[in-house]
Amino acid sequence: MSERYFQHSYSNGLTLLGEKMPGMQSAAMTLLVPAGAASDPPEASGAGAVLSDLLFRGAGPRDSRQLTDYLDSLGLQRSSNVGVHHMRFSCAAVADKVVEALGAYADVVRRPHLPEDGFRAARELALAALAGLEDEPRQKVMVLLRERHFPWPLGRNTMGRKQELENLTLECCRAHFGRMFQPRGTILAVAGNIDFARLRDEVERHFGDWTGQEPAALELRPPPGRFHHEQHASEQTHIGLAYPSIEETHPDYYAMRLAVEALGGGMSARLFTEIREKRALVYNVWAGYSSLKGYGSIMGYAGTSNDRAQATLDTFIVELHRLAEGIAADELERARIGLKASTIMQGESTSARAGAIAHDFFMRGRIRTLDEIKNAIDAVSLDQVNDYLRRNRPGEMTIVTVGPTPLRMGG
Q: Which of residues 57-116 bind other proteins (CB under 8 A)?
A: 64-65, 68-69, 71-78, 92-94, 97
Nearer to other proteins, 324 or 352 (CB): 352
Nearer to other proteins, 121 or 175 (CB): 121
Residue 349, interface with other proteins (CB under 8 A)?
Answer: yes
Strands 295-305 and 236-245: antiparallel
Nearer to other proteins, 9 or 73 (CB): 73
Nearer to other proteins, 94 or 382 (CB): 94
Closest separation in Å from C-beta 345 to other proteins = 5
Number of amino acids touching other proteins (CB under 8 A): 75
Nearer to other proteins, 69 or 214 (CB): 69
Residue 12 and residue 102: Cα distance in Å, rounded?
A: 17
Residue 121, interface with other proteins (CB under 8 A)?
Answer: yes
Residue 173, interface with other proteins (CB under 8 A)?
Answer: no
**Which letter, b or e, does each residue of 292-322 get, where b requires 16 or more Cβ atoms within 10 Å of its Cβ?**
beebbbbbbbbbbeeebbbebbebbbebbee
Residue 323, interface with other proteins (CB under 8 A)?
Answer: no
Q: Which stretch binds other proteins (CB under 8 A): 20-28, 157-165, 252-260, 321-329?
A: 20-28
189-218 residues in contact with other proteins (CB under 8 A) are: none
Among 46, 265, 296, 326, binds other proteins (CB under 8 A): 265
Among 43, 136, 166, 371, binds other proteins (CB under 8 A): 136
Closest separation in Å from C-beta 283 to other proteins = 4
| Cβ–Cβ < 8 Å for 29, 190 | yes
- C-beta contacts of 270-273 below 8 A and 24+ residues apart: 270/319, 270/322, 270/323, 271/300, 271/316, 271/319
Query: Which of 122, 158, 128 has its CA nearest to residue 39?
Result: 158
Query: Which of 380, 104, 399 has its CA nearest to residue 225?
Result: 399
Query: Which of 157, 235, 237 has its CA nearest to residue 401?
Result: 237
Residue 328, interface with other proteins (CB under 8 A)?
Answer: no
Nearer to other proteins, 69 or 201 (CB): 69
Q: How far lies 76's CA from each of 16, 70, 325, in Å? A: 20, 9, 49
Helices (H) and strands (E) in the chain, counts: 15, 11
Query: Which residues neighbour 99 within 8 Å (Cβ) at sequence distance 6 or greater?
Result: 27, 190, 194, 198, 199, 202
Q: Which stretch binds other proteins (CB under 8 A): 142-150, 170-178, 181-189, 231-239?
A: 231-239
| Cβ–Cβ < 8 Å for 82, 37 | yes
Residue 182, interface with other proteins (CB under 8 A)?
Answer: no
Closest separation in Å from C-beta 28 to other proteins = 8
Residue 400 and residue 334: Cα distance in Å, rounded?
A: 31
Residue 33 and residue 368: Cα distance in Å, rounded?
A: 21
Query: Which residues neighbour 374 within 8 Å (Cβ) at sequence distance 6 or greater?
Result: 340, 343, 344
Residue 223 and residue 59: Cα distance in Å, rounded?
A: 38
Among 348, 372, 378, 383, binds other proteins (CB under 8 A): 348
Among 280, 365, 396, 408, binds other proteins (CB under 8 A): 280
Residue 236, interface with other proteins (CB under 8 A)?
Answer: yes
Residue 341, interface with other proteins (CB under 8 A)?
Answer: yes
Closest separation in Å from C-beta 70 to other proteins = 9
Instruction: Give the N- to C-terminal CA distance of the chain in Å, as an integer.
Output: 49
| Cβ–Cβ < 8 Å for 332, 379 | no
Among 2, 43, 135, 379, binds other proteins (CB under 8 A): 135
288-317 residues in contact with other proteins (CB under 8 A) are: 303-305
Among 201, 277, 378, 383, binds other proteins (CB under 8 A): 277
Residue 400, interface with other proteins (CB under 8 A)?
Answer: no
Residue 125, interface with other proteins (CB under 8 A)?
Answer: yes
